Amino acid sequence: MNSSDLITIEFGLAIIQILDLDENRQLLRTNCWLRYTWRDPLLSWDSWAGSQFENITQVRLFPYDVWTPDIRLHNFADERLLEKRMARVVVYSDGTVLWIPQALFKSTCPVEIEFFPFDTQVCFLEFGSWTYDVTQLNLTWFGFEYEQFKYEPNPYVDFTNYIKSNEWYSDGQDEFRTRPSMRSRQTRSRIRCTNRTYQAANGQLYNRTYKRLEYKIRMHRNPHFYLSILVLPCILLSCLTWVIFWLPPESPAKTQLGMNIFVAFFILLLLLAETTPSSVRTFPLIGYFYCLNMVTITLSTFLATLVINLYIRAEKQGRLHPLLRRALLEGLGRMFLIRQAYPLADKQQQQQQQQQHQEQQQSPTR
């Protein structure tokens, strides 16, 4: 009735489906229903005289025929001009207006892949008035009917009509029937206010405060697909690295096996680079594990080549020097707890002398 009146808008977000999360471009595509309700005294006909309107309690109008709030998605990343589909407005006899349009949103979402493929993403959808400040428009939560005709503000994304995704699992899809004040798993949304300073024509400064509703969606990735193509082959290839040291020294398959495993890890690393974004702050830990395995395979192949070289040189140049043999077999052998299958030369002589001495002692008795 007056331009200085404060109008209260109850706003709610109901998610229908998570269409896609583009990790490379860090964009989230969702199918949502928006819920608006407010009271417009200019659209009320309860006080009208006449019996011809007594049985009409509600009418349905096009949104361009009445006033609608200019609430927009602030973190949008869409090339389209329109996000919402046409939906009529339900106007009740007391002036209450209910508007539930459908919308396909494309919003920005920072992606963290440190624990890929066991990562969790938290995306935000910020809604607020584009021109009205808090002195003109009061934006608050949409009511949740937990009992018949009993409502409570719902600071959560509504998952009542949610279609479950095969790739992502959200906390809200199991608590959509729970009363908002009793929910424990779903991430609570929040209200944010932003102050802006403007300068009037006379040079005087004045402030305006704008309110935004920040809805949070926490999603957990389903790792089953990535376990079969990234994690399980990595574990099997890591076990094959031990086989390199079990092969006999004269076998040329030692170096061939090492190079084949190295190429297989390199292919897995390329596959990981295709499935994860390149411009991120943290590299996934599984990528570090791949690189560590490649370094280990390189060292094992180098040591296998060294063993083959020593084996071939031993056949051509004879036995190893006694001091070097003692340092390697006794020193490093005891350090790594390796049992000597062939004793050293001095130990063999001591054992032979002890046996001869025992035989000499036993011969007189015989």
Tens of pLDDT along 204-259? Answer: 888 999 999 999 999 999 988 888 888 888 888 888 877 777 777 667 777 788 88
Tell the CATH superfamily of the 7-221 domain: Neurotransmitter-gated ion-channel ligand-binding domain (2.70.170.10)
Cα separation, 16 vs 103, in Å, equals 10
Taking residues 92-110, report their average pLDDT: 92
According to the model, what pLDDT value does residue 293 have?
A: 83
CATH topology classification for 224-342 = Methane Monooxygenase Hydroxylase; Chain G, domain 1 (1.20.58)
pLDDT tens readout for residues 265-320 = 888 888 888 877 776 677 888 888 888 888 888 887 787 777 777 777 766 666 66
Q: What is the chain's length?
A: 366
pLDDT at 301: 78
Q: Rounded CA gap, 357 and 352, in Å?
A: 9
Q: What is the pLDDT of residue 123?
A: 93
Domain residue ranges of the chain, discontinuous segments joined by +: 7-221, 224-342
Q: Which of 48-62, 90-104, 131-145, 342-356 has the lowest mean pLDDT?
A: 342-356
Instruction: Give the pLDDT confidence score for residue 346 in this predicted structure.
Output: 54
Percent of residues, the chain, with pLDDT higher than 90? 31
Mean pLDDT, range 4-23, rounded to an integer: 91
The residue that leads in pLDDT, 129 or 300, is 129
pLDDT band at 127 (very low <50, low <70, confident <90, very high): very high
Residue 276, pLDDT score: 77
Q: Are 105 and 124 in contact (CB under 8 A)?
A: no
Predicted model pTM:
0.75
Range of 50-59, 75-84, 150-159, 321-330 with top mean pLDDT: 150-159
For residues 28 and 106, is the Cβ–Cβ distance under 8 A? yes
Average pLDDT score, the chain: 83
Residue 139, pLDDT score = 93
CB-CB contact of 71 with 23 (8 Å):
no
Q: How confident is the model at residue 366 (pLDDT cuts 50, 70, 90)?
A: very low
CA dihedral 313, 316, 318, 321 (to 10 degrees): -30
- Tell me the per-residue pLDDT of 176-190, one tens digit each, with 9 for 90 and over: 888 888 888 888 999
pLDDT score at 341: 57
The mean pLDDT of 340-348, rounded to a whole number, is 54
Distance from C-alpha of 292 to C-alpha of 259, rounded to nearest angstrom: 15
